[in-house]
Chain A
Amino acid sequence: MDATKRPLRIPPQFGVYAEKHNLFEMFRKLIEDLLTHKPEDPLEFLQEQLKRDNNDVPAIIVQGPTASGKTTIAKLICSSSRTAYISKDTLLADDVSSLAAEAKQCLQNNQPVPTDLWVKMIEARLKLYDCVKKGWVMDGFPETREQALALQAVGISAKHYIVLEAPDTVLIERQMGKRIDPETKEIYHTTFDFPSNPDVESRLVEPPEGCSEAATAERLMRWHRYSAGLQRCFEKYKKSINADQPKADVFAQVLTFLKVKTRSLAPHTPRIILLGPTGSGKGVQAALLASKYNLVNVSSGQLVKEAVSSQSKSGEAMRPYVERGMLVPDNLMVKLLDDRLSQVDCTTRGWVLRGFPRTREQAENLSTCGHEPNRVFFLDVPNDSVYERLTLRSLDVVTGQRFHSLYNPPRTVEIKERGVQQPSDAEEEVHQRLSAFYAYAEEIADFYEDAQHINADQDPHTVFECVESMLVNPTPRRLELDD
């Protein structure tokens, strides 16, 4: 055969590598930036972008009607994640910028500030070092769809868009009690959030926008007029949060949302490890996953049995251990799995592995072979349920039918009496397997930091839905927060 006619194949390690470094998203972002800015010299521009190294910084817009607490929440996010805070007030307060002076001139003449002026101010602000390095939170801007589209046209878009919502009556009542400390610009409330310091209390004033019912209603009308169009600009990364709750609860929900990564179109081959005690349903879940997502179902026990019965070289090496009921040594086991997981079907379709690793060392060895899982699930189930699931099973020796005295009891007393238990289902055996698992569970959990825990003490299909939801969505990211 002509040597040049062989099919070209990308090395399987590259898939793992690209996923680890998020290459797909990085390329997408770079090309997106190139197209929005269309620089004269793309090479120079790409170098600049790559040197910035700020793919993970937050870019958040907090929106909501008047008195929904958007400023409070935005400032909380800023102080906990050390990002820059941007609002109309802070933009106008810039004394140096000529743009801000122009905008103030507009406001003095009682004219609205034109959209393009706002956009220019924001663009200038976002170029500053703190926004580039640490990210930004924008509070209360854009106010209309037009402004949002103008921002998007110059390539400014949020990664998270938070809308705080509350019934109008609640908001009007809140606005009536709103008080501001003129010195620190902190916001207080006459009933819900009264200052503890009497000095602060004495200098509280009503907010400049007024807190009468009519004025608030006017501003709410304005919000309702523009909000639907505005929210359509940010459909993909929008989250509505009920603002009629205590501040801490709203903030907790906001943080949960900020942990969500946007879904990417990057090609994704699932490499799953299921961990759990005996009887937690690893086998069932693996079979379900394998049939729905066309994955290769790899069970370590099965592999050992196959190797032994095929009388291969490695199988013969394992035979003495298997015959004496001992665990196969780590190096043989890892070799066996490495061979299986390196085959073409595993690298192209993805795999789901169970029964391995049992110790942290095995997990480390597996990763050094290049088989890094991208999802690890712990199926958590209490010991009582495991005993209930396993020890009550019996087998009818005449018909070969299997029964479970709670979930699937034998129909007659006669059948019940001739049922026998599998030796491995005996209580001591189960106890032994359970303690073997829990002896190492903690150190494995330490190794797989991104592992996700699932309550497996439920119906198999409920558990499966849980697993699926964590499989198809990106794993949540860790936030670096100050308390």
Chain B
Amino acid sequence: MDFPRANDSKQYLQEHKIMELFDNLTAQLVFHRPDNPKAFMVDYIQKLKESRTAKMDFPCIFDDSNIASVFGMLDPTKKGFISLAQYKEAMATMGCVGFDPNPPGAENDCISKDTFTREVKESLAQTSATFRP
């Protein structure tokens, strides 16, 4: 059976990344637990709108220091490199999608901190940009 209205709705949700937007909103709410969730959500959407115009600084719960500390946890002996498996797992944990599965250094199973940080930032920006491209 084909339901035109249902398909329209699904397409609408996908096109405008509504579900991703609500996922991010939930993550923000879990993290901050504000007293007035509505005002908080209005603020978040306002930030998102601004970053849509500026095409940068997407609101996200991870900042640079978080990314650095994730890398630090994966690399406790301070070698400056992590393995490809660790890289993939870290990406999945941080909710990143669309990252490069074979970043530079993958052939040697050594991914440097710079590569990691760059990939995480790129894909976080992608996941946070929850509006029609």
A residues lining the B interface (CB < 8 Å): 2-5, 8, 10-11, 13-14, 17-18, 21, 23, 26-27, 30-31, 34-35, 38, 42-44, 46-47, 50-51, 53
Contact = CB atoms under 8 A, between A and B. Distances in A.
B29 A51 contact: no
Given A21-B37, A38-B9, A42-B18, 12 more contacts: A2-B89, A4-B70, A4-B93, A11-B30, A14-B33, A30-B22, A35-B13, A42-B16, A43-B21, A47-B49, A50-B38, A51-B38
Contacts of A38: 8-9, 12
Given A3-B73, A4-B93, A47 B38 contact: no
A44 B49 contact: yes
B131 interface: yes
A35 B74 contact: no
Contact of A42 (B30, B33, B70, B131): B131
Contacts of A51: 38, 42
Interface in B40-72: 41-42, 45-46, 48-49, 52, 70
Interface in B1-42: 8-9, 12-13, 16, 18, 21-22, 25-26, 29-30, 33, 37-38, 41-42
B86 A4 contact: yes
Nearest to A6: B93
B90 interface: yes
17 contacts: A3-B73, A3-B74, A4-B74, A14-B33, A17-B29, A21-B37, A26-B37, A26-B38, A31-B22, A34-B18, A35-B9, A42-B21, A42-B131, A43-B21, A50-B45, A51-B38, A53-B38
B30 A43 contact: no
Given A3-B74, A35-B9, A38-B12, A43 B131 contact: yes
The 6 tightest CB contacts between A and B, nearest first, are: A4-B89, A4-B93, A3-B73, A42-B16, A35-B9, A14-B30
A97 B13 CA distance: 35
Nearest to A42: B16
A50 B22 CA distance: 13
Contact of A2 (B42, B45, B52, B86): B86
B38 A27 contact: no
A21 B86 CA distance: 38
Contacts of A11: 30
B99 to A, nearest CB: 14
A23 B42 contact: no
Contacts of A34: 12, 18
A10 B90 contact: no
B89 A5 contact: yes
A5 B52 CA distance: 34
A18 B28 CA distance: 12
Interface of B: 8-9, 12-13, 16, 18, 21-22, 25-26, 29-30, 33, 37-38, 41-42, 45-46, 48-49, 52, 70, 73-74, 86, 89-90, 92-93, 131
Given A4-B89, A13-B33, A46 B45 contact: yes
Nearest to A13: B33
Contacts of B22: 27, 30-31
A66 B48 CA distance: 53
Given A17-B33, A38-B12, A42-B131, A31 B18 contact: yes
A14 B30 CA distance: 6
A38 B9 CA distance: 8
A48 B48 CA distance: 15
Contact of B42 (A4, A14, A47): A47
A5 B92 CA distance: 10
Contacts of B74: 2-4
Contacts of B42: 47, 50-51
A17 B12 CA distance: 30
A4 B48 contact: no
B45 A47 contact: yes
A455 B74 CA distance: 60
A270 B16 CA distance: 36
A10 B18 contact: no
A56 to B, nearest CB: 12
Given A4-B90, A23-B37, A10 B45 contact: no
Contacts of A3: 73-74
Contacts of A13: 33
B49 A43 contact: yes
A21 B90 CA distance: 32
A43 B33 contact: no
B58 to A, nearest CB: 13
Contacts of A14: 29-30, 33
